[in-house]
Amino acid sequence: MTKLNVELVTPESLVYSSDAHMVVVPGVEGDFGILGGHSPMISSLRPGVIDIYESEAKISKSLFVSEGFVEVTQERCTILVRSATDVTGNPEEASKLLADAIAA
């Protein structure tokens, strides 16, 4: 399977940059997965968790993000968000951040 270059960027910094097997992002109309070779697209994101799979079966990184945008090409996934927090292995923190985002 073709790897996908993933970059997650906030106004302050490049938060994540690596090759991945798959990325699942919180689109405004629902979560969707992106694999290498995906059709080009641009989508808005809602606050939620981005899961990055460096291998087929295991999430290697989870990041809670505020709203933003994702641009997908066949080789790259560029995610632009206002803020990002690493919640890898901490679903309670992700739930708290989501509840705070919804309340705001």
Q: Enumerate residues 6+ apart whose C-beta is below 8 A from 102.
A: 47
Whole-number Å distance between alpha carbons of 92 and 71: 29
Average of pLDDT values for 84-93?
Answer: 88
Whole-number Å distance between alpha carbons of 67 and 83: 8
Closest by CA to 54, choosing from 82, 28, 9, 24, is 24
pLDDT digits (tens, 9 = 90+) for 1-20: 688 999 999 999 999 999 99
Which CATH number, 3.40.190.10, 2.120.10.30, 1.10.3720.10, 2.60.15.10, labels domain 4-103?
2.60.15.10
What pLDDT is recorded for position 24? 96
Residue 101's pLDDT band (boundaries 50, 70, 90)? confident
DSSP 32: E
Q: Enumerate residues 6+ apart whose C-beta is below 8 A from 104.
A: none
Q: pTM (2 decimals)?
A: 0.89
pLDDT digits (tens, 9 = 90+) for 60-88: 999 999 999 999 998 999 999 999 999 98
